Amino acid sequence: MPTWVKALLIACVLLALLTLAAAGAGVYLWRQHGRGFVESTQKTGAEGQEYGRHTDAKGCLDEGLARHTHAVGLGEIVRTNIFLRTCLDASTPSPGFCDGVPRQIEFIRSAQWQQQQCQQHGLSPEKQCGQLFAQVQQYCEARRPGQK
């Protein structure tokens, strides 16, 4: 058997072992922390809905920005996005809130707008700031004429 075939077989076996190890680690982490994560995201969604019932879309964004500023770790960032989205959906529309917000399908404009919003609000792109403003885009897109 040629040497290159042996090397290829070894590489495939190693890749398969790494895949199994990653899957095993994922199952272990889900069993240890999955239920708590799901419960905390559901609680955050309920908080967002409650907050949104008493404010407008701008108030939701302001609270989402404040939470994002203090978020530490991916879990908190995800919960902040959930809070903002559920808050926006339950809130009273703010006049002009969606003015200038690009559609999500406009990929380049969306990325530029998200980056501009992050800079404007003094947020770090390393903390997935663009995802926060993607929630705003989804909210605004759902309210455009001709949308469901």
**At residue 64, does pLDDT exceed 70?**
yes
**At residue 30, does pLDDT exceed 90?**
no
Q: Please, which contacts does 139-147 make with residues 24 or more away whose CB atoms are closer than 8 Å? A: 139/57, 139/85, 139/88, 139/89, 139/98, 140/97, 140/98, 140/101, 141/101, 141/103, 141/104, 143/93, 143/98, 144/98, 144/103
Nearest to 137 by CA among 111, 91, 96, 102: 102
Q: Which of 35-44, 60-69, 91-100, 103-112 has the lowest mean pLDDT?
A: 35-44
**At residue 48, does pLDDT exceed 80?**
yes
**At residue 14, does pLDDT exceed 80?**
yes
How is residue 132 written in tokens?
């926060």
**Mean of pLDDT over the chain:** 89
Residue length of the chain: 148
Kindly provide the b/e burial profile for residues 92-130, where b requires at least 16 CB atoms within 10 angstroms of the residue's own CB.
Answer: eeeeebbeebbeeeeeeebeebbeebbeeeebeeebbbb
Residue 21 pLDDT class (50, 70, 90 cuts): confident
**At residue 146, does pLDDT exceed 70?**
no
Give me the pLDDT at residue 32, please: 74
- Over residues 81-138, the pLDDT tens digits come to 999 999 999 999 999 999 999 999 999 999 999 999 999 999 887 788 899 999 999 9
How is residue 115 written in tokens?
């980056």
Compute the average pLDDT of residues 46-69: 96
**At residue 148, does pLDDT exceed 60?**
no
Give me the pLDDT at residue 34, please: 66
